[in-house]
Structure 1
């Protein structure tokens, strides 16, 4: 998709169109890079969970994480997300992972996480 936008940008004769198409091309390239380099978002082992973000990977020990399945209803459609509530002393952070982030249904991931949790 970004390649198509790039070609249209190059062959466009209107300067305003070139600017907008150039911006759209950069946004699509950035989103594609994000989806490529941050995968997989969630890794699990005996010591806990590892969540990958743009700022790096964060190791979350099992005893500091609460795993929840959240269901939200928007536009008449119910969507499930996986919520990882991490608390370490005064520091806390909420990671919300969608089916797109997980690559599968969050219900299945929650079941696996509860089975693996010591």
Structure 2
């Protein structure tokens, strides 16, 4: 048996249904604006701008669905609209999960502190619970 030449890389990505929901929301927003159109160009213009923003947000999910990847060399995070940034393990200072309770709801955000940059990921960015991803990152980090 030959050893696997490629190191194990784990990836976390946006759930496939999320961009579809965003695009459906943009279409529904436009349809609603046209249905309720009373000849007000400002109302229609705002609906078009909001729908375009929602469609651009969905496009980002389609262009760069993988938000976070981890391998033996370090972590790759999405940066900007669809760029990628490689963070070596030596630059990653801390991986934590920030939990906040507000109005009866608890939210979790994965924080990757790389000194000069801080990268934040929610459950919908990762398609998994941030605590589970943080645990996987801690396991993947070389000792």
- TM value normalised by structure 1: 0.83
**Alignment equivalent of 1:39, drawn from 54, 65, 69:** 65
Maintained 8 Å contact 1:70/1:80: yes
RMSD: 1.8
**Alignment equivalent of 1:29, drawn from 55, 62, 85:** 55
Maintained 8 Å contact 1:38/1:54: no
Cα deviation digits, residues 67-100 of structure 1 (max 9, x gap): 112111222222221110002xxxx111111111
The structure in which a higher percent of residues are strand is 1
CA distance in 2, matches of 1:36, 1:75: 32
Q: Which of the pair has the greater relative contact order for Cα pairs under 8 Å at 6+ separation?
A: 2
CA distance in 1, matches of 2:54, 2:101: 28
Partner of 1:19: 45
CA distance in 2, matches of 1:3, 1:78: 31
- Where 2:117 maps in the other structure, the secondary structure is strand
Q: Does 1:60 align with 2:60?
A: no
- Where 1:19 maps in the other structure, the secondary structure is helix
- TM value normalised by structure 2: 0.70
Partner of 2:77: 51
